[in-house]
Amino acid sequence: MGTFQIDFSNSRKQRVVGIDLGTTNSLVAYMDVTAPKVIPGEDGEPLVPSVVSLTEAGEIIVGNPALQALITHPDRTIYSVKRLMGRGIDDVTEELKLFPFRVAGSGESVLKLSLGEKTFSPPEISAFILRQLKRNAEAALGEEVRQAVITVPAYFNDAQRQATKDAGRIAGLEVQRLVNEPTAAALAYGLDKRKDGVVAVYDFGGGTFDISILRLHEGIFEVLATGGDTHLGGDDIDNLLLKIALEDIESEWKQDLSGNGEAVQTLRRAVINAKHELSRLPAVTLVFDYAGKQYRRELTRPVFEKLILPIIERTLAPCRHCMNDAGLEPEKIDEVVLVGGSTRIPLVRASVERLFRAKPHTELNPDQVVALGAAVQAAILSGDVQDKLLLDVTPLSLGIEIMGGLVSRILHRNSTIPASATEVFTTAVEGQTNVLIHVLQGERELVKDCRSLARFDLKGIDPAPAGLARIEVRFLIDANGILNVSARDLRAGKEQSVEVKPSYGLTDDQVEAMILESIDKAQDDFQERQLREARVEADAILAAVEKARQNDAYFDLEESDRDLITRGLNELLVVYHGEDHLLVRAKIDQLNQATMKLAENMMNTAVNQALKGTKI
């Protein structure tokens, strides 16, 4: 009797690692027998600087060697590439002034950066960092690593998330999931061990700021609200101090060094070291030696804190909005977790404690906590860790354009993902055979104030009177926050769909301002929406009445009834372009009343025509 061949090659589960692809540093971690552990690099250090350089021999180097090359060959080195992920040239014009990067192909919408004689996109640069982390993991674990969970700022938009997935794919990694960095931090702290509670995770890293509020119940992590700023981080503090130092040096030496790449990067390193020292010392002396000259400046912690206070204050506004979104007062938040290297700054810790009225957790290394949490999530996905569930949210509402330039929201912000929602719409024109589906993201009521994500046509709709067609629009967001939109004609069965790809050329400032604008302008938006909805309704009745006036039933009316209809039309047209939606609706009602007898006559005529020649 024969036996089946046993394939042992697939009997072992694939290792899934967790990766924190950071602005300043990146890390890779894995789940050991009892706890997540960070994997050290070739030099024994767990932190891999997120720096990539091209040597004169044409070799790509990553991490600490590239960090050294940043001083000697700044024109062949790129850092803080995370700030450029999923963004277009117009988005980063101001930022590039602070970097020694050269942009190639400025006429293109996709950003390309020059490294010597070669050019790369931000995802390709990030892929070099991911490949180095992959090599580190394989060397430490003694096995091939193909799958990973990668963390992203909670406020990353669709383009930035897609760019991160692209970077993973280029690096030869199958990205199992993108996880919000603050959520990963909650996993690292083992907050699931609490039976119940509400936790605020304040993540202030090198290039981004995130705030998330999570509810924990019986091992389930649910993100109640999230917010942040993709254009705010420790780099802003570095750039501020660097600018002050350059101005001092120009005044003292009578020499402008801002265009000297090697000098600027050497000074940047001195500024960053001074910043780090001020987290533990009351004063520090900034020393910069260059070309036989020396610049010295004593910097005290009070002066430092006064300089950076506006930057720290910028992180607190999203925190307040996030609490408002979650419907919580500070007293209702049980624990506060600090994440990111910038949270080592005493002023940051004091400001957070004052805002949330609770002493924040600082037990874990803030540089490693996100990678450790990513490793826990990787273990959840691989089945090594059970009884935990992670529910993220979408940071902005998603919807489509409807008549009047209005937005119909289908998935509201802070909806738990993965998520799906369906709504049915109809046509506005008789005999319409195709519908344009315009996908939008934002919190405002009008299309012009929201972010356009995609457009596609649903073609082949069966011609029918206006309002008769039934078009089902479905929004689906997967676990990585990637959006798929489909539209289907319920009568004809025709269907079209689109996966929302990166949308370049749109500024992150527009996206990040949406929530604040929606709050500040809520009353104006609501009034504008009511006015536009009234005008859409007026358009429909005006068109219907004009068509009815061609019917024989109209001429059968008495002259006084026809005059009443004409007067109603004219009065509606007079107020149509006004700003009083109540007056527009009043005139719509008046015209409706004026056409009641006409509608009765048309109905009688239609019935008589249908029954003509019929015996009952």
Per-residue pLDDT reduced to its tens digit, 267-283: 999 999 999 999 999 99
Averaged pLDDT score across all residues of the chain: 82
Per-residue pLDDT band at 439 (split at 50, 70, 90): confident
Q: Find the farthest-apart pair of alpha carbons in the chain and give their distance in angstroms, rounded.
A: 113
Q: What is the CATH number of domain 234-307?
A: 3.90.640.10
Say if residue 508's pLDDT is above 90.
no
Say if residue 135's pLDDT is above 80.
yes
Asked whether the beta carbons of 602 and 548 are under 8 A apart, the reply is yes
What is the structure's pLDDT at 275? Answer: 94
Say if residue 6's pLDDT is above 70.
no
Q: What is the CATH number of domain 394-518?
A: 2.60.34.10
Asked whether the beta carbons of 408 and 400 are under 8 A apart, the reply is yes
Per-residue pLDDT band at 613 (split at 50, 70, 90): low
Strand partners, 446: 406
The region of weakest confidence among 168-177, 393-402, 573-582 is 393-402
Total number of residues shown for the chain? 616
Say if residue 387's pLDDT is above 60.
no
Catalytic residue among 91, 124, 192, 203: 203
What is the structure's pLDDT at 509? Answer: 52
Residue 274 DSSP class: H
Q: What share of the chain is helix, strand, coil (3-state, %, to 5)?
A: 40, 25, 30
The region of weakest confidence among 289-303, 526-540, 566-580 is 526-540
Q: What's domain 16-233+308-392's superfamily in CATH?
A: ATPase, nucleotide binding domain (3.30.420.40)
What is the structure's pLDDT at 383? Answer: 72
Q: CB-based contacts of 568: which residues, under 8 Å, 6+ apart? A: 587, 590, 591, 593, 594, 595
* CATH 1.20.1270.10 domain residues, the chain: 522-611
Average pLDDT over residues 297-318: 95
Residue with the bigger pLDDT between 210 and 147: it is 147
Closest-CA residue to 137 (of 52, 30, 14, 26) = 30
Say if residue 512's pLDDT is above 60.
no
The β-bridge relationship of strands 51-54 and 77-79 is antiparallel
DSSP 438-474: EEEESSSSBGGGSEEEEEEEEE-PPP--TTT--EEEE
Say if residue 210's pLDDT is above 90.
no
Does the bond joining 418 to the residue before it have cis omega, within 30 degrees of 0? yes
Q: The tokens 């694939």 sit on which residue?
A: 14
31-71 confidence digits (pLDDT tens): 987 789 999 987 888 899 999 999 988 899 999 999 888 88
Whole-angstrom CA distances from 387 to 164, 217, 373, 383, 536 are 28, 12, 16, 10, 51
Sign of CA pseudo-dihedral 570, 574, 577, 583: negative
236-252 confidence digits (pLDDT tens): 999 999 999 999 999 99
HSE-CB for 177 with a 13 A CA cutoff:
26
Closest-CA residue to 337 (of 353, 354, 322, 316) = 353
Closest-CA residue to 52 (of 139, 135, 116, 140) = 116
What is the structure's pLDDT at 504? Answer: 33
Taking the alpha carbons at both ends of the chain, their separation in whole angstroms is 81
Distance of alpha carbon 112 from alpha carbon 417, whole angstroms = 32
* 247 is a catalytic site residue: no
* CATH 3.30.420.40 domain residues, the chain: 16-233+308-392
445-490 confidence digits (pLDDT tens): 888 888 788 888 888 887 887 777 888 888 888 766 678 888 888 8
What is the structure's pLDDT at 503? Answer: 42
What is the structure's pLDDT at 195? Answer: 63
Q: The whole model's pTM is what?
A: 0.60
Question: Which helix or strand (DSSP H or E) is residue 30 part of?
Answer: strand 25-31
The region of weakest confidence among 224-238, 276-290, 360-374 is 224-238
Q: What angle, 0 to 180 degrees and rounded to 10, lies between the N-to-C axes of helices 369-382 and 181-188?
A: 80
Average pLDDT over residues 172-185: 87
HSE-CB for 116 with a 13 A CA cutoff:
16
Asked whether the beta carbons of 51 and 66 are under 8 A apart, the reply is yes
Say if residue 301's pLDDT is above 90.
yes
What is the structure's pLDDT at 581? Answer: 81
Q: Of 1.10.10.10, 1.20.1600.10, 3.40.50.970, 1.20.1270.10, which CATH number belongs to 522-611?
A: 1.20.1270.10
Say if residue 7's pLDDT is above 50.
no
Percentage above 70 pLDDT, the chain: 86
Say if residue 518's pLDDT is above 70.
no
Average pLDDT over residues 18-37: 91
* 612 is a catalytic site residue: no
* CATH 2.60.34.10 domain residues, the chain: 394-518
The region of weakest confidence among 2-11, 26-35, 370-379, 566-575 is 2-11
Residue with the bigger pLDDT between 396 and 199: it is 199
What is the structure's pLDDT at 8? Answer: 41
Percentage above 90 pLDDT, the chain: 31
Asked whether the beta carbons of 179 and 206 are under 8 A apart, the reply is no
Say if residue 231's pLDDT is above 60.
yes
What is the structure's pLDDT at 11? Answer: 44
* 20 is a catalytic site residue: yes
The region of weakest confidence among 41-50, 219-228, 511-520, 537-546 is 511-520
CB atoms within 10 A of CB 494: 16
* CATH 3.90.640.10 domain residues, the chain: 234-307
Catalytic residue among 166, 181, 192, 533: 181
* Exposed / middle / buried, residue 111 (Cβ in 10 Å: 0-12, 13-18, 19+): buried
Per-residue pLDDT band at 513 (split at 50, 70, 90): low
Distance of alpha carbon 75 from alpha carbon 102, whole angstroms = 8
DSSP 380-421: HHHTSS-S-EEEEE-SS-EEEEETTTEEEEEE-TT-EESEEE
Q: The tokens 């957790």 sit on which residue?
A: 361
Residue with the bigger pLDDT between 167 and 563: it is 167
Average pLDDT over residues 422-449: 83
Q: CB-based contacts of 458: which residues, under 8 Å, 6+ apart? A: 434, 435, 437, 471, 487, 488, 489, 494, 495, 496
Catalytic residue among 20, 124, 235, 528: 20
Say if residue 304's pLDDT is above 90.
yes
Say if residue 507's pLDDT is above 50.
no
Distance of alpha carbon 575 from alpha carbon 10, whole angstroms = 73
Closest-CA residue to 277 (of 254, 257, 255, 304) = 304
Asked whether the beta carbons of 265 and 98 are under 8 A apart, the reply is no
Residue with the bigger pLDDT between 537 and 12: it is 537
What is the structure's pLDDT at 533? Answer: 83
